[in-house]
Structure formats: structure tokens, C-alpha cells
């Protein structure tokens, strides 16, 4: 059964797809904000913690700074893996159902 | 330490000409493939995800971040590293919030997306104002930076440096359009990443490849404070505001957004952001090591003696470890970096002038292919000439505030309208125009009243607006204005079209 544009827009599957896409996006954006602002506010408010030594001279701040960059990249990768596996498959399926 | 910095050496000139010859050859090849508007603005949508990843990285990694962050780390230690992290976090946000809808809805510029279901003329004009202001301030910062840089490295006069950058960059964009600009970015990104990797390797080799030993050498000379947070982030509100501008500003930079139209589909757009984030992240992780290396091996006094801002830290440590030829190579890479960033900005500025203003507003979309490409080339000349002129006019100005301004306008004027137009059915033409104009005005106005301009540039004793970066205020207001005006006005046609648009946004149906 092929669907018209209106039927597709009204379908539960399409609505779910859009809702799920934004749920994933918002969850990852929040994780990003927490990571970055967590770091920045730590720098602003608790300087002694970052100045703590973890090696001979190396301070905790150094690995923390690097991990903000690494976590940002991992979050990006999580999104791509989710989108390629789950989102694209559903998009392809729904497009098949659409009447030309 | 003896340095040949500031005198043109044979190796510097050789590398410089090699890079310019290579990029011009690419331009010549691209020029023969650039006939339609699709090719001029969007490289025929034929760029692969990996190529676009490198090109995005090339567009974003400016000489300011290469030389600037290395210098900041060399002179101020850990504070420079804090700065580096902020430059990356916009990329994941770009991916989560706008990358795919942008690719699916747009054609050549981000204004295509904002104006998609709204009334074309007013929205195009407002978006072009936001876009051009952003690109213009960013370009001025790059031009002023490049003039100083080339003056320091090759000993040429400031004005000649600016004209040299302008003329070479114009050749790429004018003849080769987006195809040439993309390849210039890729070449530059590869050169920059290779150069900085090699430099980092040479620095670490001095310390038995142990970052701990490098840090120990820094601490031995400058004390433990070099590895601790200092005075850069003291006011949390200021830090949050700057963070917002850095993070969400990326989502409103026209030259970055424009790159999404060069790839075939949303999937490729997504992958290209992943590659770009990886490359840029790697760059920002290793560049502080270069800075620390410069502090330990060259010394803060020498670095600050040559340039008070520390911008010559990376070239100096390159010369110390690899001799004059390596200095020449790094200098040429820095030059290529500037050229590429300015070329990308010019293409974005020219597309706003020609595609958004001339074709969509003046000609109401009724222009032939030939005419559109001709206008795009004229707009490139106009924008390029303007860039050179402003580069000369703003000689000696503080560059950092102009970059800050560009990001503040991007996140206040362009980003709220773009996001609201993608996600909100109720969004109206009047709201888009009001949001863009209030965001832009407020961002510019508050920066003028902030300590950065009011105290540092104009010399008044105290600022009228306390924050150095206005984003937290100006972006919030732009969102509130966009929402408020939408609720106060009604545009049934826009709401109906939003439903159809969803098919294109989420399923890519009808996307170009």
C-alpha cells in the first residue's frame, strides 16, 4: 500500500521517526553541554582541583582538557553510528512506501 | 637565539612558490569544470565525505588558531589549552542540530533554509545582512592577522602582504569557484596537519617522546603555575557567554554551512562532520604540545621579544629544531592557511551577495545560468576588493575582538533563525527578520559597549556592558524575539508548507 504525502505525514511511523531523531539529538546536545560547561565551570570555580598533580608535575587539568575534545568526538561518532544504522534504515523504508 | 625570521630565506620562498603554484594549478584544472551555478557555489555536489571533512577542517583551522594557540600556551601555559577546547565543541552541536536538515533543505546558502517556506524577499535580505556581517568581520580579522604575519615572516610591508593574499585568493575563487576552493582547503589541511604533526614529533623527540618530561622541563623554568589554570577564566558568566558564542557560533558561520551543499546527500554531510571533528580535535590536542615545547626550548622572553602576542612561538621552535628549511616550510604553511580561510570566506560572502540578494531578491529568481555565474564572479571581485581595502583600513587593530564579534553575530543573528525555521511550524517571516536584525544589532552594539572595545580600544575607564562576549544576552534575545513575534503574527501559508517541508527535512525527499 503506497502512501500519499498527507498519509505519510500523519502516519505514526513518520511521527515516531521525527520524535526519535530529536530525542537523540537533544540527549547528545545535553551531554555535550554538560561535558564542556562542566569543564569550564570547574576551571572558573574550583581551580585547586585542576591544579592537583597526577604525575611528577602533570596536573589533572591537562588530561581533563584533552578528554573534553575526545568526548566531543565520541559523541559525534555515537550520532553517526546511530544515524547510519537506525535512522537511515527507517528513512529508506518510509521512502519506499511513499507514492511518487 | 639567532633567527632568520623576518628575512625572506631561499627555503621560505621556495616552499611559498611551490604551494602557490600547486594551488593555482588546481584552480586552472577546476576553472575548466566550473560553468554552472551548481559548480560555482557547490562544486557540482560531487565532493566526497572524506574530502569535505578535510575541506571543513581547512576552512576552520585558521592561522589564528595555529599560531595563536601555540603562542598562548607558550606564554600563559595551561590557560592556552582551555582556549583550545572551546574551538572544537561547536562541531558536535552542528552535527546534532542542523547538519542534515541544512543539507536536505538548502541549495547554496543557509538563507535557502531560513527562507524555504517564508516570504523570500524580506528573509533573504535579513539573512544576507547577518551572513555578510559575520563573514566580513571574520575576513577583516584574517586579513589583519595575515598582513602582520607575512610582515613578520617574510619582511614584506603590511600593505603588500594584504594585497598579495587578496590577489592570490581572488584567483582561486574567481576562476575555480567552489571546486578550486575545496581543493585549496584540502591541500592546506593536509599541509597544516602534517607540518604540525612533524613539529610535535620533533618537540617530543627532545624529551624521549614523553609529554611528562616536556611538562617537567616547562615547570623547571616557569614553575608549577604553567600547568595550572591562571587568570583567563575568572568570571563564570563571561566564560559561559564566550563558550556559547564559540559553540553555537559555528552553527551560524556561512562559509562552514555552505560546505554541506558540496556533498551528494545528508549521509555524506554527516560523515564529513565526523571526519572534520576528528581532524580538528587532533589538531587542538597536539598544538598545546608545540606551545609547551616552544616555552621550554626557545624561552618565553625570546618569543615575547619578537611578537608580544606570542604568535611566533611555533615558527621559532620549528627553526630551532629543524633549521631554516623547516622554518620556511612552516611559514609557507601558515601562509597557505590564511589564503585558504580567506578564499572560503570570500566565496560565502559572494554567494550571499549574488545568490541571496541579486538572483533571489532583485531578479525574483528569474536569472539564466550564465547570468548567475557572471554575477557570482562580479560579487567575488567586489567582496575580495572590499576584504583587501578593509584589511588595510583596520591595520593595527586588535584581531581577537573581531573574531569574537564574528562568532557573536553568527550565534545571535544566524543561528536562532536557522534553528527556529527548521524545527518550529509557527515561525513567521516577520519573526525571522526581527530575530536576525535584533540578534545582529545587539551583538554588535554590546561588543562596542563591552570592555573589549569601550575600554581597550576607545580608552574609557569602565565599560557600559560587563561581559567581554555578549552571546548569552544577544542570542537569548534573538530567540525570544523570534518566538514572541511568531506568536503575535500569523502566516498560514508558512505553516502549511512546513508540513510538506518535513518530508524533505527528515526523509530527504526532493533534496538537491
B496: number of Cβ within 10 Å? 12
Q: Which residues pair with B119 in a beta bridge?
A: none
Residues of B in contact with A14 (CB under 8 A): 506
Mean pLDDT in residue range B5-28: 84
The predicted structure's pLDDT at residue B38: 87
What's residue B280's pLDDT? 96
Instruction: Kindly give, in sequence order, each residue whose CB lies less than 8 Å from that of residue B488, ignoring residues fewer than 6 positions away.
Output: none
B152-168 residue pLDDT tens: 777 888 899 899 889 98
**Structure confidence at residue A100 (pLDDT):** 63
Distance CA B151, CA B145 (A): 10
Q: What is the 3-state secondary structure (H, E, C) of A24-66?
A: HHHHHHHHHHHHHHHHHHHHHHCHHHHHCECCCCCECHHHHHH
Residues of B in contact with A98 (CB under 8 A): 503, 507, 509
DSSP state of B65: I
Three-state secondary-structure class, residue A3: strand
Please tell me which of the candidates B93, B95, B219 has its beta carbon nearest to residue A57: B219
Nearest to B285 among A56, A69, A77 (CB): A69
Q: How far apart are CA B357 and CA B350, in angstroms?
A: 10
Residues 6+ apart with CB under 8 A from B163: B388
Q: Which of B78, B423, B503 sits opposite A8 (nearest CB)?
A: B503
Has residue B421 got a pLDDT over 70?
yes
**What are the pLDDT digits (tens) for B329-341?**
888 888 888 888 9
Interatomic CA distance for residues B180 and B186, integer angstroms: 10
CB contacts under 8 A, B 404-423 vs A, are 423
List CB contacts (< 8 A) between A57 and chain B.
Answer: 212, 215-216, 219, 224, 227
pLDDT, tens only, B491-512: 999 998 998 888 888 988 877 7
Q: Residue B285's closest chain A neighbor by CA?
A: A66
For CA atoms B97, B100, B101, B107, the dihedral sign is positive
Chain B residue numbers with beta carbons less than 8 Å from the beta carbon of A84 are: 267, 270
The shortest C-alpha distance from B469 to chain A (Å) reads 15
End-to-end, the C-alpha distance of chain A in Å comes to: 12
Alpha helical stretches, state H, B307-410: 313-351, 369-393, 399-409
pLDDT for res B148: 78
Name the residue in chain B with its Cα closest to that of A5: B500
Nearest by CB: B239 against A32, A40, A95:
A40
Has residue B1 got a pLDDT over 70?
no
Measure Cα distances from B298 to A1, B313, B489 in Å.
Answer: 73, 8, 62
Q: Is the complex ipTM more than 0.85?
A: yes
Query: Given CB atoms, is B504 within the 8 Å cutoff of chain A?
Result: no
Residue B7 has pLDDT above 80, yes or no: no
Chain B residues close to A69, C-beta within 8 Å? 84-85, 88, 281, 284-285
**C-alpha cell belonging to residue A89:** 534504515
pLDDT tens per residue, range B367-394: 888 888 899 899 999 999 999 998 888 8
Lowest-pLDDT range of B66-75, B118-127, B213-222, B306-315? B306-315
Residue B206: all three cell numbers together: 627532545
DSSP string, B231-252: SSS--HHHHHHHHHHHHHHGGG
- How many C-beta atoms surround the C-beta of residue B510 within 10 A? 11
The per-residue pLDDT for range A26-81, each reduced to its tens digit, is 999 999 999 999 998 888 888 888 888 888 889 999 999 999 999 999 999 999 99
Q: Do A41 and B234 touch (CB under 8 A)?
A: no
Count the Cβ atoms, other than its own, within 10 Å of residue B288.
27
- Report which of residues B396 and B50 the model is more confident about: B50
Q: What angle do CA B59, B63, B69 make, to 5 degrees?
A: 115
Q: Rounded to an integer, what distance in angstroms lies between the CA atom of residue B26 and that of residue B339?
A: 14
- pLDDT tens readout for residues B75-93: 989 988 888 888 899 999 9
Q: Grid coordinates standing for B335? A: 601562509
CA distance to partner chain A, nearest, from residue B305 (Å): 27
Contact yes or no for B236 and A44 at CB 8 A: yes
For testing the chain A interface, which of B87, B90, B95, B101 should be mutated: the one with the most A CBs within 10 Å? B95
Give me the pLDDT at residue B253, please. Answer: 94
Distance CA A82, CA A70 (A): 18
Q: Which of A24, A69, A98 sits opposite B284 (nearest CB)?
A: A69
pLDDT value of residue A1: 64
Residue A8, min C-alpha distance to chain B (Å): 8
Q: What's the confidence (pLDDT) of residue A27?
A: 97
Residue B239 has its nearest CB partner, among A28, A32, A44, at A44
Chain B stretch 41-100, residues whose beta carbon is closer than 8 A to a beta carbon of chain A: 78, 81-82, 84-86, 88-89, 91-93, 95-97, 100
> Binning pLDDT at 50, 70 and 90, where does residue B73 land?
very high
pLDDT at B512: 72
Residue B240 confidence (pLDDT) above 90: no
Residue B14 is predicted with a pLDDT of 87
The pLDDT tens digits for B128-154 are 999 999 999 899 888 888 887 788 777
B15-21 long-range Cβ contacts below 8 angstroms, 24+ apart: B15/B328, B15/B329, B15/B331, B15/B332, B15/B333, B16/B154, B16/B328, B16/B331, B16/B332, B16/B335, B18/B332, B19/B187, B19/B191, B19/B332, B19/B333, B19/B335, B19/B336, B20/B168
Q: Which of A22, A69, A80 sits opposite B281 (nearest CB)?
A: A69
B190 CB near a chain A CB, below 8 Å?
no
Integer Rg of chain B from CA: 22
Cβ-based burial of A60 (10 A; exposed 0-12, middle 13-18, buried ≥19)? middle
Give me the phi and psi of B321, to 5 degrees please: -90, -30
Q: Which residues contact A56 (CB under 8 A, 6 or more apart)?
A: B212, B216
**Residue B450 confidence (pLDDT):** 87
Minimum CA–CA partner of B283 in chain A: A69
A65–B227: do the CB atoms touch at under 8 Å?
A: no
CA–CA dist B451, B461 (Å, integer): 9
How far is residue B31 from each of residues B26, B173, B178, measured CA to CA in Å? Answer: 8, 9, 10
- In angstroms, the CA B481 to CA B479 distance is 5
Q: Is B284 on the interface with A (CB under 8 A)?
A: yes
Q: pLDDT at residue B479 above 70?
A: yes
Q: Is the pLDDT of residue B473 over 70?
A: yes
pLDDT for position B500: 84
Q: Give pLDDT, residue A60.
A: 92
Amino acid at each position: 500500500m503506497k502512501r500519499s504525502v498527507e498519509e505519510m505525514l500523519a502516519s505514526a511511523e513518520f511521527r515516531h521517526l521525527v520524535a526519535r531523531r530529536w530525542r537523540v539529538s537533544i540527549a547528545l546536545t545535553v551531554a555535550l553541554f554538560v561535558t564542556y560547561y562542566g569543564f569550564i565551570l570547574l576551571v572558573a570555580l574550583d581551580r585547586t582541583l585542576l591544579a592537583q598533580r597526577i604525575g611528577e608535575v602533570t596536573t589533572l587539568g591537562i588530561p581533563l582538557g584533552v578528554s573534553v575534545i575526545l568526548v566531543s568526538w565520541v559523541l559525534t561518532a555515537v550520532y553517526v553510528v546511530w544515524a547510519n544504522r537506525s535512522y537511515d534504515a527507517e528513512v529508506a523504508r518510509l521512502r519506499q512506501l511513499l507514492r511518487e | 637565539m639567532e633567527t632568520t625570521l623576518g628575512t625572506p630565506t631561499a627555503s621560505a620562498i621556495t616552499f611559498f612558490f611551490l604551494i602557490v603554484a600547486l594551488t593555482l594549478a588546481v584552480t586552472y584544472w577546476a576553472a575548466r569544470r566550473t560553468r554552472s551555478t551548481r559548480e560555482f557555489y557547490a562544486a557540482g555536489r560531487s565532493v566526497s565525505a572524506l574530502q569535505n571533512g578535510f575541506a571543513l577542517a581547512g576552512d576552520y583551522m585558521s592561522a589564528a588558531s595555529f599560531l595563536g594557540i601555540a603562542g598562548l600556551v607558550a606564554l600563559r601555559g595551561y590557560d592556552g589549552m582551555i582556549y583550545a577546547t572551546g574551538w572544537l565543541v561547536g562541531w558536535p552541536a552542528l552535527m546534532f542540530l542542523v547538519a542534515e536538515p541544512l543539507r536536505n533543505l538548502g541549495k547554496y546558502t543557509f538563507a535557502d533554509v531560513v527562507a524555504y517556506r517564508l516570504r523570500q524577499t524580506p528573509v533573504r535580505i535579513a539573512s544576507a545582512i547577518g551572513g555578510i556581517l559575520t563573514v566580513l568581520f571574520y575576513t577583516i580579522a584574517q586579513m589583519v592577522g595575515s598582513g602582520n604575519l607575512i610582515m613578520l615572516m617574510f619582511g614584506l610591508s603590511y600593505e603588500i602582504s594584504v594585497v598579495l593574499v587578496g590577489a592570490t585568493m581572488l584567483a582561486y575563487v574567481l576562476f575555480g569557484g567552489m571546486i578550486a576552493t575545496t581543493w585549496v582547503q584540502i591541500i592546506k589541511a593536509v599541509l597544516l596537519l602534517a607540518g604540525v604533526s612533524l613539529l610535535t614529533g620533533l618537540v617530543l623527540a627532545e624529551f624521549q617522546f614523553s609529554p611528562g618530561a616536556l611538562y617537567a622541563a616547562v615547570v623547571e623554568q616557569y614553575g608549577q603555575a604553567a600547568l595550572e589554570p591562571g587568570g583567563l577564566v575568572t568570571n563564570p558568566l563571561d566564560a559561559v557567554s564566550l563558550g556559547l558564542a564559540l559553540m553555537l557560533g559555528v552553527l551560524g558561520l556561512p562559509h562552514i554551512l555552505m560546505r554541506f551543499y558540496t556533498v551528494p546527500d545528508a549521509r555524506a554531510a554527516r560523515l564529513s562532520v565526523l571526519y572534520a571533528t576528528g581532524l580538528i580535535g587532533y589538531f587542538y590536542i597536539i598544538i598545546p604540545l608545540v606551545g609547551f615545547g616552544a616555552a621550554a626550548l626557545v624561552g618565553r622572553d625570546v618569543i615575547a621579544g619578537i611578537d608580544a602576542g606570542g604568535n611566533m612561538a611555533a615558527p621559532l621552535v620549528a627553526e630551532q629544531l629543524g633549521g631554516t628549511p623547516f622554518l620556511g616550510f612552516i611559514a609557507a604553511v601558515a601562509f597557505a592557511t590564511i589564503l585558504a580561510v580567506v578564499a572560503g570566506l570570500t566565496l560565502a560572502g559572494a554567494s550571499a551577495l549574488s545568490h541571496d540578494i541579486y538572483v533571489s531578491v532583485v531578479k525574483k529568481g528569474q536569472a539564466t545560468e550564465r547570468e548567475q555565474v557572471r554575477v557570482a564572479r562580479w560579487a567575488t571581485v567586489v567582496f575580495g576588493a572590499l576584504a583587501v581595502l578593509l584589511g588595510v583600513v583596520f591595520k593595527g587593530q586588535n584581531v581577537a575582538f573581531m573574531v569574537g564579534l564574528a562568532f557573536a553575530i553568527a550565534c545571535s543573528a544566524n543561528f536562532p533563525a536557522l534553528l527556529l525555521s527548521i524545527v518550529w511550524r509557527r515561525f513567521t517571516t516577520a519573526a525571522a527578520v526581527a530575530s536576525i536584525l535584533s540578534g545582529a544589532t545587539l551583538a554588535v552594539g554590546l561588543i562596542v559597549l563591552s570592555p573589549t572595545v569601550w575600554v581597550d580600544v576607545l580608552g574609557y575607564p569602565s565599560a557600559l556592558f560587563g561581559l567581554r562576549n555578549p552571546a548569552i544576552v544577544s542570542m537569548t534575545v534573538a530567540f525570544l524575539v523570534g518566538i514572541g513575534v511568531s506568536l503575535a503574527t500569523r502566516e498560514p501559508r508558512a505553516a502549511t508548507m512546513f508540513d510538506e517541508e518535513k518530508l524533505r527535512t527528515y526523509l530527504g525527499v526532493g533534496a538537491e
